[in-house]
Amino acid sequence: MTKKYFIISDIHGHYDEMIRDLNIHKYNPNDINHHLLVLGDLFDRGTQSKEVLEYMYNLRLKNRVTIILGNHDTFLIQFLDGEYKKLLFNMTHNGFKSTLESLVGRSLTFDENWNDINYEIKSKYIYLYNFISTQHLYIEIGKYIFVHGGIIYNNGDWKNNEERDYTWSRESNLERIPGKIVVSGHERVSKIRFPNMNQEELVLKNPDAFNILEMEGKILIDSYVEISKKINVLILELEGED
């Protein structure tokens, strides 16, 4: 059965921008022939991680969304597992504080009782851990491979990549896979196009630099939503299971 796939990535807690841009591209969550495919990084940086989570969870209950694990999503898994070693770093540098505050509904300090915060989040969202920890590392549909970070070819042995390879690799730097097109997020396309330019200035002078980037055997879609204030939407009509 042919479906229309709406592919987005790196939402980073920007619910309003996601909904606006899906609407612009005529995505209809009630259309059984529409399927949302998210290439990871639901959370961090933006202030609406709770809204993103609830939207995606409700879609998954209806089998209308497929989500691939992103590196930022692993920060939440680690927290829920009680692994706090990188917690303060992720809160300070990776926007994880915004995720926790969105989920608990209040401002947090850096000296909270993290076991209590952990328990509070798990109690409020009893489905959360299973929802995040069971995401796909990649999805293959026909000639397309969808992943958050990248696919290391390994002489054809790419299906045995480690989790960190799928979630942290940068596809633009990797050997292409013969006969396949890798669609990924993670890398901000504007920084690939203009790596040495101030991104705040770039969005004013050349907003198209944040649009989907097509390379040989690759399509990269991370719009750097914190700067561009938009979510790229790639639409593909594909036949096969999601």
Shared domain check, 161 and 210: yes
Tens of pLDDT, residue by residue over 88-128, are 999 999 999 999 999 999 999 999 999 999 999 999 999 99
Residue 37 above 90 pLDDT? yes
Residues paired with residue 152 on neighbouring β-strands, in sequence order: none
Q: Is residue 224 part of a domain?
A: yes
Residues 119 and 25 in one domain: yes
Helix (H, G, I), strand (E, B) or coil at 113: coil
Looking only at Cα atoms, what is the longest distance across the chain? 52
pTM reported for the whole predicted model: 0.96
Kindly state whether residue 215 falls inside one of the protein's structural domains.
yes
The answer to whether 233 touches 4, Cβ cutoff 8 Å, is no
Asked whether residue 16 falls in the same domain as residue 36, the answer is yes
| In the predicted structure, residue 1 carries a pLDDT above the cut 80 | no
Q: Under DSSP, is residue 20 helix (H, G, I), strand (E, B) or coil?
A: helix
Same domain, 57 and 13: yes
Q: Which domain holds residue 87?
A: 2-133
Q: Is residue 239 part of a domain?
A: no
In a domain, 78, yes or no: yes
Which residue, of 133, 148, 169, is where some domain finishes?
A: 133
Q: What is the count of structural domains for the chain?
A: 2
Q: Specify whether 96 is located in the same domain as 160.
A: no
Domain termination residue (choose one: 71, 102, 133): 133
> Is 241 among the domain residues?
no
| Averaged pLDDT of the chain | 96
> Of the residues 133, 162, 190, which one is the last residue of a structural domain?
133
Q: Which pair of structure tokens corresponds to residue 105?
A: 């509904």
Output the six-digit token pair for 31: 């259309």
Concatenated DSSP letters of 187-239: EEHHHHH-TTS-HHHHHHH-GGGGS-EEETTEEEEE--HHHH-----EEEEEE
We report the CATH number of the domain holding residue 40 as 3.60.21.10
241 confidence band (pLDDT: 50, 70, 90): low
Do 95 and 177 share a domain, yes or no?
A: no
Provide, for the chain, the percentages of residues in helix, strand and coil under a 3-state DSSP scheme, each rounded to the nearest 5: 40, 20, 40
pLDDT in tens, 146-179: 999 999 998 889 999 999 999 999 999 999 999 9
Q: Over pLDDT 70: what percentage of the chain?
A: 99
The percent of residues above 90 in pLDDT, for the chain, comes to: 96
Q: What is the pLDDT of residue 154?
A: 87
Mean per-residue pLDDT, 49-60 = 98
Across the beta sheet with 65-67, the strand order is: 65-67, 34-38, 2-8, 234-239
Residue 191 clears pLDDT 60, i.e. is over it: yes
Q: What is the pLDDT of residue 197?
A: 97
CB 224 within 8 A of CB 189: yes
